Amino acid sequence: MNGLPDFDDARVLVVGDVMLDRYWFGDVQRISPEAPVPVLKVNRVDERPGGAANVARNIAALGAHATLLSVVGGDEAGACLEGLLKEHVNLNAILHRDASISTIIKLRAVARHQQLLRIDFEKPPSHEVLHAVLRDFEAQLLLADVVILSDYGKGGLAHIAQMIEMAKKAGKQVLVDPKGENYGRYMGATLLTPNRSEFREVAGSWQDEAELEAKAQRLRRELKLAALLITRSEEGMSLFREEGVQHEATYTREVFDVSGAGDTVIATLAVMLASGADMVQAMRVANRAAGIVVGKLGTAVATRNEIEGGMNKGDEGRTARQTDWEK
């Protein structure tokens, strides 16, 4: 495909678990006298939207319109996350506050671009606030071209099966970034985007491409999906549909940080589909976008200009990476 379609009118509804990604950057020059652990002297703190919030800001970074629907706690982290999202043009965040929980925080301690430690703070939202999210989902559904359900397994998508059914009845394409072993809850979605490790957890290991395709197509048929996209790290991406399988090789980027690359993939897929592209075209552009964000530190976005710049330069080769992308 030559160039990118117009994203100005593309509208994507994102529902799922949001979190605050907090980074402590510093230097390690000594070992603690209290225990054999490094002492990080923090010199900078950075905060970024994570989880489904990172999906939404990736959509906005491409120039499309994102509506984010989720739950946060009635705390400082929730207020911080809400403030960060307001900085993004084309991003409408509808965040329900649940005073009984703490906003999910992923705290990373980083020295010389290496993570020393990650600390997670989380508690599932209440049933009452999840019912309120479901009502808002119904109201926002008709305004969207494509729906993303970003499942981080934190409890924010307890009604995901009902959401998929509602979206199907409204004639909307539903893209799901899955989590855990119970894929039955995603029955009837348009597209699932597991990474290699997530797919192996559900389908088991494989010896060759033929066995992988057989397992992928079996799962796709069982769940009544239009397509299954497996992101395969250094092996690129594979799109499985009724018509067969389409592979896309990884574009060269020096891999710096894989955090949030899966968010970029599903965001780009949704924007492309909402703009009239087919799934193969959407996968190719999402693959390029992923190659951009893994060259950045932490949860990041790929802009339209960056993707178009890469398309103009063409394929620059390959870079191997043995770890799957984090969502």
Q: Which residues are catalytic?
A: 263
Residues comprising the chain, all counted? 327
Q: Pairing mode, if any, of strands 237-241 and 244-248?
A: antiparallel
CA distance 61 to 76: 25
Task: State CA 320 to chain mean position distance.
Answer: 21
Residue with tokens 């494989």: 206
CA distance 161 to 152: 15
SS (HEC) of 78-137:
HHHHHHHHHCCCCEEEEEEEECCCCCCEEEEEEECCEEEEEEEECCCCCHHHHHHHHHHH
